[in-house]
Structure 1
């Protein structure tokens, strides 16, 4: 989840390097891939990496499912991994080609959405919460009321990231329900609350790091690392953890079933599991990663950053989003479609 989103392709090349031994096509969230990491990988392997950006899990899934994309690796969030696997879009990894697989931190080795890490390796993880510019509002920011019942100071100044599962889950917790519920009474409250709130929003958009930094947006439902970067540029920006409940997420890299550059992909997957290389990923996008020992290579300001370290009082309010049942997904999609009108 996390990310200034423009559809672009970045071809990392370094001067003075011999002819590339191969190439690699990485399909990833925008503003989420460290240029320094790619330059180091190319220097050490001779493999050129082309990064194509996407703006949401749904966008990426639709592109991959359509075929003819030419990508080798994709970076889905936790609640999409099983979908990719069930559709046969990603392939089980040959762990013999990943000697650094053991560097995955214990808590991320056997995750419910990918038991035993058979299909994916960690990229980054974080939270979805509330970013507020305290020049505009100095009240409680640890609540989804910021976007669902905006205080007068923030009416017309709030952005909501257009990520369906995050938005609907936050709204469901806010009205007292559970994520992925099939309870139609709860879902009616969710729909009504979102439709009531929408006229009070400024936008439903991505790219909040710069907009929050520049005071163009005063509050946003967004991802923690991007808001960390916004705060570094503008100290008035603060990040809150909704006490009603908020999403935890992890993005991970998967090898596509129709990948053409398979050996190059394995080299990249193994490369990003080295602690110093995982740290380059985190240092750029400002999210935690799932590789043990990477902390010592990361900037000192990440060790106690309020956007990275979840306060003890809110830890129990963070929930991983897993795939909803078909019926729940049908209800959520209907609400989302109505919200987009």
Structure 2
């Protein structure tokens, strides 16, 4: 930023009154294949900011790097439960997005959220659900049950890809066996472990590359996010996204500024920028998930809002947003997961 400008106006006035005069850098760390190139290019041109983008494969990978310190990043995009952890550990800047000019565009449903009530630290990036997709050209039965993953019919055995998101994976198993999320009860944890070990022989692979696995025909079923399913269906119309009767995982990813970010002013600009409806639409257009910004759908094709992956069919279970589990439960999850992957 220009030293003359900073001498003339306060940071707040500079940011919100004359943001087009910004310059400098912004370093973003986000999930892979999740950031619209059009969005980044527009931000760069509008504010004359040099932007770098690196990607990670999980919240845990990102959190480990941030905890280690000196990551060099300004912006990260943690999921809801990870936001709560990062706020509690003092890893995020309190940027007050709700008071930013575009804060008025926040969807009211996503302001007083458990992970950042009042939106003092983060802004919505995208939200959705985690379940699974099925190629219905190759399987004609009922797909709206977690039994598809954990006790599949013969024609699906050996044709299933499972996620490597530990939390979503474990919570799906909890729903299937009918125990509460994050339960420390040993009997409940044994039920989960037993169900997973019994199901393991039915799975072909573990991986995040769910779009490639489905579109290549490598598998018939894949656990995954609703936006993945939306994108797969554009290539294979017979693919359907399941809404299992046992329940479905909800999540929201959020734009956060790291504590002590070197380019904090540009990071705040970016938070405000993505709360503009037309910019939030660019995010959804690219990745196929809904966003938490009111008015963005008018900038998207009509079929986006009406798609079954974005707007669940009537009677579908409401998504469950699960707060972070206690450390002792996470430790057992990790042991179960490590043993399962052997």
Q: TM-score, normalised by structure 1?
A: 0.91
Following superposition, the deviation at residue 96 of structure 1 comes to: 8.6
Aligned Cα root-mean-square deviation (Å)? 1.6
Q: CA deviation at 1:169?
A: 0.4
Rounded Cα–Cα distance in structure 1 between residues aligned with 2:37 and 2:212: 18
- How many Å apart are 1:333 and its aligned residue? 2.2
**Distance across 2 between alignment mates of 1:213 and 1:104:** 35
Given the alignment, which residue of 194, 199, 203 partners 1:201?
A: 203
For residues 56-81 of structure 1, give each alpha carbon's deviation from its aligned partner in whole angstroms, at most 9, with x where no partner exists.
Answer: 11111111111222110111111111
Count the aligned residue pairs. Answer: 322
Is this contact kept in 1: 2:98–2:119, CA < 8 A? no
> Out of 268, 276, 290, which is 1:274 matched to?
276
1:199-231 Cα shifts (integer Å, max 9, x gaps): 211111011112212222211110000110010
Which whole-Å CA distance do the structure 2 matches of 1:112 and 1:61 have between them? Answer: 19
Cα deviation for residue 321 of structure 1 reads 1.4
Pick the aligned partner of 2:314 from 288, 312, 315.
312
Q: Please give the secondary structure, in 2, of the residue aligned with 1:116.
A: coil
Q: How many Å apart are 1:32 and its aligned residue?
A: 0.6
**What SS is found at the alignment partner of 1:100?**
helix
The residue that corresponds to 1:36 in the other structure is 38
SS in 2 for 1:115: coil
Q: 3-state SS of the aligned residue for 1:111?
A: coil
Deviation at 1:97, TM superposition (A): 7.4
Indicate yes or no: 2:144 matched with 1:120.
no
Q: 1:256–1:154: structure 2 CA closer, same or farther, 3 Å change rule? A: same
- Tell whether 2:102 aligns with 1:100: yes
Larger mean CA deviation between 280-289 and 324-333 belongs to 324-333
The match for 2:226 is 224
Partner-residue secondary structure (3-state), 1:44: helix
Return 5+ residue gaps in structure 1 as ranges: 1-18
Decide which structure has the larger Cα Rg and report it: 2
Contact 1:97 1:266 in 2 (8 A): no
Q: Distance in 1 between matches of 2:274 and 2:242?
A: 30
Partner Cα separation in structure 1 for residue 96 and residue 171 of structure 2: 35
TM-score using structure 2 length: 0.91
1:94 to partner: Cα distance:
4.0
Of residues 41-50 and 20-29 in structure 1, the stretch that sits farther from structure 2 once superposed is 20-29
Give the 4+ runs in structure 1 shifted more than 6 A.
none
SS of equivalent to 1:159:
strand
Match of 1:45 among 25, 44, 47: 47
Within 2, Cα distance between the matches of 1:134 and 1:20?
A: 50
CA distance in 2, matches of 1:332, 1:198: 16
